[in-house]
Structure 1
Amino acid sequence: SALMSGVMTKVAVYGFIRVVFDLLGPPAFWWSVEPMTFGAASALIGVLFATIQSDLKKLLAYSTIENIGVIFIALGLALAFKANGMALPAALAFTAALFHVFNHSLFKSLLFFGAGAVLNASGEKSIERLGGLIRSMPKTAFLFLGGCVAIAALPPLNGFVSEWLVFQAILLSPALPQWTVKLLVPAVGVALALSAALGAGCYIRAYGVAFLGRPRSEAARIAHDPDRWSLGTMSGLLTLCLIAGLLPSLLIDTISPVAKDFVGGRMPTQAELSWLSIAPVAESRSSYNGLLVFVFILFSAYSARWVIHKFGAARSRRAPAWDCGYIETSPMTQYTGSSFAQPIRRTLGV
């Protein structure tokens, strides 16, 4: 599953780039309409169906449809810019697409390895039968959480950087001369923003139901972390996600020569910028510093912890959650994945 979703789905992306950006010659502006339209539709439909899944692997598979949609949105933008001789914006969009290809291969493989570890340890596919895995599988829970943060496009991991680059390319679209593309791109941007928000909610739901709370089955209660080789593989993937998020300039400068070959331009050399920042066009316009964001998150978390311990209650204790005086209820009465997804199920009629 990790190989199929993380790597083999990119064969279609490679074929599209080779044919459309290379073999067919100079593009017309209307070539961009189809990949952007179908990319936006794929992103929205994929994340909507991922949100209502109870089977963890099915959820990840539908999420792949969403991420392929994000890639094709970026490729469509690159075509529109290239057709109008706008080399720098075309390079930005093309680089964002390849960056997301690389990112998706990392965090989706990590998540499928985590889902496989859960299935192997508990024998349960449905998140409705899980819960409390953060206690029985703490290492897997931590690594899976990292994958969720990355795929939800949250800083400081790599998923945020590639989607941020796509949005930066969208913000350059007003310079395009064709009114049809000018009308289409904002709608695509809205679809991309909505899919990003739904994607974050999808993985909050998946992680919260499967790993938090109380075990909903005996299999979830007695589950255990996999062997060290499996944990090592997942740790390596999470480390790469973190490196790509903190030092994206390394990957952007690696992709830039490829972008120059296919769209006739490249992004500014990121290694020359100050403080390990990245700037799609120029630092005066917009920039992002993953390392600075990471330090800020760590500092904020440590400061909050210090304030709570310094000025909070002098003594603390662990106890079961207050149940308002009722008799202890079954873990099956906890909120489930279906209850979280119920509004979307109603809307879609599924």
Structure 2
Amino acid sequence: MGNFGGSRLIAHESARGHVSGFALYTDDLAARFPGTLHAWPVVAPSAHGIVLSLDFGAALAEPGVSTILTADDVPGEGNCGASRHDEPLFPSEFRYHQQPLVWVLGETLDAARRGAARVGVVSESRPAVLTIEQAIARESFFGPPISLRRGNAASALACSPHRIDGEIAMGGQEHFYLETQNALAWVDETGGIRAHSSTQHPSETQEIIARVLGLPRHMVGVECLRMGGAFGGKESQASLWAAVAALGAWKTKRPVRVRLSRALDMALTGKRHPFFARFEAGFDDDGHILALRAALYSDGGWSLDLSEPVMGRALFHLDNCYFLPALEATGLICRTNKTSQTAFRGFGGPQGMLVIEDILDRIARSLSLPTDQVRERNFYREGQTTHYGQTV
């Protein structure tokens, strides 16, 4: 600690532990629980299909394998979807490549992995939707469009001296937190469940564990000691791994650890939403936007997760810092056979802002004007209102 510019510097309460390596994270706590079992998933062989049969004989004969978690072990609701309950814990129809089907528990992680590799999976493939363009063509959406409007965009476009139309696509992004998804659960002395989870949302994780086990929430305790990164990736998607650990502990009465490898974490978890947009803009000789009609499409993946508020934020941020006097904006969330895309820093804002920035760049080039000049001419002025009603 010291002084800087008249202010007293205060060290972060965990700084010494972080830089020295003494700070503990969720997976470090497993050593405190003798007899901990380790979980590993049996994963789907393709992006979409039906499970016809599962053969556990060879897996259960594998040395060190303790048991296999299936839908039959769930005393409550076998679903970890936070809002729509659309994420079965043990799916009979898998909807993305490597989706966990069942979980093998072993005395060691190596035993669990060997056991998972020996589970016989017989499945039947179904057609898969893998891109936003395919989803649009097949009308594969999560519900009706979300809309924001101001003025009469169609009329303003018709009266505009200049018009452009176009498309823009942007990909997703991996969170790449240093600490992968992990959880540790055990049955406590009261007969309830306690869990350490690398989660941004302990109360939601508590709710989902309670739902899966059929317990009242006061019998489930969830703690996050600290996280080695998350960036939105552990807001809703940490609950599945904690629910698996809790179910394993409930069944075996032993502590159960779930920790995804880097490769598995990247294969199983959601990313920033890819977006695709189509637009038509009207503007004057000086580059002032007079009207905009935009259709935004996001790749939501196989379940809804947080895709609705992400799309809402994209529509709100479609203006970035520019006045749009007439606007018709719609958003559709595409259902695809990919990981369920989720929260990521910016939460839809960057995708919406990129659309308007691309439009302004195209307007400037079409008029042979400097792009910074066109942007400045479209800045909000004090007293104007946004398309969602906020006064600037």
The structure that is helix-richer by fraction is 1
Q: Which has the higher contact order (CA 8 A, sep 6+)?
A: 1
Q: Which is greater in Rg? A: 2
Q: TM-score, normalised by structure 2?
A: 0.22
Q: TM-score, normalised by structure 1?
A: 0.24
